[in-house]
Amino acid sequence: MSAGILQATHLRPSASHLALPFFDEAHRRIAAELPDWTNAQRVDETDDRAACRDWVKRLGQGGWLGYCVPGEFGGALPELDSRALVMLRETLAFYSPLADFAFAMQGLGSGAISLGGSEATRRAYLPEVAAGRKIAAFALSEPEAGSDVAAMKLRATGARPDCVAGQKEDYYFLDGQKTWISNGGIADFYCVFAKTDPDGGSRGISAFVVDRGSEGLDDSAHIPVMAPHPLATLTFTRCRVSAEQMLGELNAGFKIAMQTLDIFRASVAAAALGFARRALAEAIDHAKKRKMFGQTLADFQLTQAKLGEMAALIDAGALLTYRAAWMRDTQQGDQRERSVAAAMAKMTATENAQRVIDMALQMHGGLGVMVGSKVESLYRDIRSLRIYEGATEVQQLIIGKAALQEMRK
């Protein structure tokens, strides 16, 4: 069984933020119903790959994956809604990081199909994602192209050497590698980004849906990490993909990738909030029970001061996160302003969560570093959130450049 969930039966995430004007009834309903549902699940998380498959199935059966796809393709809402994603990820992360991971990857892995897929492609994949019958993956990063997406080397070459440059072909051959791919090795399909114009930079990238088991695709190279979840390197060797599997127009893949990340970036911040809220709840629970020098740890002013700092750090990240999701959903400001808001949320929430979890671990003393304790696992879980979907330093650059442009006006 999941130790994380079993330890949480008496703990619940705070609901004070639900009264904020960023949310409507659909979001409040998620926040009201999801904690009880999640806490009732009993998932064996000993094997992270098996656990993720189990979580996808359960989340699909529970109707929660419907928030990952648009309504006409089995979704719970008419369009992808960042605030719903935030509500879901914050709550799931509070109870189980693997549940959060499983949910997030269904959305991120299918987001490019929602945005750029043909009608036939959307109908073939999205209802299966919403029902939890197909596991999705987003394949963008490469060994030498992480934050610098335009540097990718995976090539998609056409089958006809006499084809006019820039003309769409009947099918393509993919050659190269992707790495750090979440759900690698367990996904049923991958949204893969490849260079169709090697000299085109970011304007020479196209996106494809590649089914697992496709000839020339090897997804067996698993990558072990400090907070276990499915990761793999994908190797493509003359992997044939039909042009019908292309998402969007030829050489329009970079835009689709960035739009997908824009939708989900605030939800990464929300996952960090879930981790941080759980750390605070664990710290409060421990402080009330731990007896020291004739009183509880919670009676000491130093403990109260630390708990106050932790709460403020969480709220600072939360307000930026909810604002970013609200701006995206309601189209507040222009695209640059929405991207900056998402960058602020992602940077602040993940960095603050790291500090909150570290303080919670310190408050637990020796128990905090014991393998198997909740704060110990949270300490490992939070670290990757400061890197993936745009490292903190990348978010700082986005915010800093925007600030300079604003000062020049």
CB 160 within 8 A of CB 112: no
Pairing relationship of beta strands 136-139 and 189-195 according to DSSP bridges = parallel
Helix, strand, coil percentages for the chain (3-state, nearest 5): 60, 15, 25
- Residue 217 β-bridge partners: 236
Q: Is 67 helix (H, G, I), strand (E, B) or coil?
A: helix
Q: How far is CA 222 from CA 45, 177, 180, 182, 184, in A?
A: 17, 13, 9, 10, 7
Q: Which helix (H) or strand (E) holds 139?
A: strand 136-139
383 Cβ contact partners less than 8 Å away, ≥ 6 residues apart: 226, 227, 354
CB 99 within 8 A of CB 59: yes
Q: How far is CA 321 from CA 227, 240, 335, 395, in A?
A: 24, 40, 16, 14
**Whole-angstrom Cα distance, residue 140 to residue 330?**
28
Q: How far is CA 45 from CA 183, 272, 368, in A?
A: 15, 20, 20
What's 77-138 look like in SS3? CCCCCHHHHHHHHHHHHHHCHHHHHHHHHHHHHHHHHHHHCCHHHHHHHHHHHHHCCCCEEE
Q: Is 143 helix (H, G, I), strand (E, B) or coil?
A: coil
CB 71 within 8 A of CB 80: no
Of 33, 79, 389, 406, the active-site residue reads: 389
Q: How far is CA 229 from CA 55, 219, 279, 282, in A?
A: 12, 15, 20, 23
**Whole-angstrom Cα distance, residue 263 to residue 167?**
30
- Residue 209 β-bridge partners: 191
Instruction: Supply the DSSP symbol for 22.
Output: T
Whether 389 sits among the annotated catalytic residues: the reply is yes
- Residue 211 β-bridge partners: 189
Please identify every residue annotated as catalytic: 389
